[in-house]
Amino acid sequence: MFSTAADRRVLDDRRGTRAMTWIMAIMLFLTVLAAALGLGTVNAAGTLDRQLAGRLTVQVVTADPAVRDRDARAALAALEQMPAVRRAEMVDRARLTEMLRPWLGDASSDADVPIPALIDVDLSVPSEEAAARVAAGVRAAAPTARVDSQSRWLSPVAGFMRTLIYAAAAMVLLMAAATTAVVLLAARAGLETHRDTIAILHMLGSTDVQVARLFQRRIALDTMVGGALGTLAAMLAIWLLLRQMTALGSELLSAGALTQGDWLLLALLPMLFAAVATVAARIAVLGRLRQVQ
């Protein structure tokens, strides 16, 4: 894959080498950022699914406080008797008051305001069937109760995360395709630049495969050097962004942190792109040389 000192003397093109190196650095910088976005979103989506799977909220919404308290106690008692329920806890009214204060102001603490009774429920085995059985049991014990799945509330967020994942994957594929196109153009330009040198090599007995090997090693080295620079810069930028995300204190944003496996995968991208560039350069050079002959 790597070129020797003799190879570099045969294909002396310092200006083209510098251009190729910086182009690959930019390509890998953008690719690593897109890949990090996709991996972080996958981690955040997985954490969100684990946290919300099997989470239910029971609401008792009625203006009569006596009926509301009666049905709330009946629903809580029914939940505590269900094998499918791992935890059922009544949400304190003071906590509800604080949650509603940004919208209702001081009126949220007024005893006459009909604040719904809420019960947080965790299922033992998260499934739609278990949630349906629990909902039916709650409605039988408390007719005014309403059972909502927390995952349903955040389904738009989950859909947005899936869109981000697909967009990041598409970006990585597009960057790989763009890299291949750049390599093809660089290989063809190198053939035109070194046409006389290639003719002399053929006169000395070199085969098309040997000539192609010179180009593919040179391009692979440029890709590795530029890719390493771009990857290091991107990983530094990602690390700084992750530090800022952690400082915000948001659970959802913190869940998008990269794991050790994610960092390793990002570090392997330059080698993957170098392999793609090597294959593309070999195909381009051999195809062009066969056309010339």
Domain range for 100 is: 62-143
Q: Is 204 helix (H, G, I), strand (E, B) or coil?
A: coil
Of 77, 108, 143, which residue is a domain's last? Answer: 143
Strand, helix or coil at 17? helix
Domain count, the chain: 2
Specify if 191 maps to a domain.
yes
At 112 the pLDDT is 62
The pLDDT of residue 231 is above 90:
yes
Counting Cα atoms < 13 Å in the Cβ hemisphere of 191 gives 22
Residue 222, domain member (yes or no): yes
Q: Has residue 178 been placed in a domain?
A: yes
Residues 85 and 230 in one domain: no
Q: Is residue 56 part of a domain?
A: no
Contact between residue 185 and residue 262 where contact means Cβ atoms under 8 Å apart: no
- The model's confidence at residue 52, banded by pLDDT at 50, 70 and 90, is low
Indicate whether 165 belongs to any domain.
yes
Choose the final residue of a domain: 117, 143, 169.
143
Q: Report if residue 148 sits inside a domain.
A: no
- Say if residue 97 is in the same domain as residue 212: no
Pairing of strands 85-90, 55-60: unpaired
Q: Could you report the per-residue pLDDT of 112-135, keeping only the tens digit for each?
A: 666 788 888 888 877 778 888 888
The pLDDT, as a whole number, for residue 147 is: 84
Domain membership of residue 77 (yes or no) is yes
Residue 266 inside a domain? The answer is yes
Secondary structure of residue 226 in the 3-state scheme: helix
Note whether 250 and 282 are same-domain residues.
yes
Across 139-235, the runs of DSSP E, i.e. the strands, are 145-149
As a whole number of angstroms, the distance between CA 288 and CA 283 comes to 9
Compute the distance between CA of residue 64 and CA of residue 90 in angstroms, rounded to an integer. Answer: 18
Residue type, 280: A
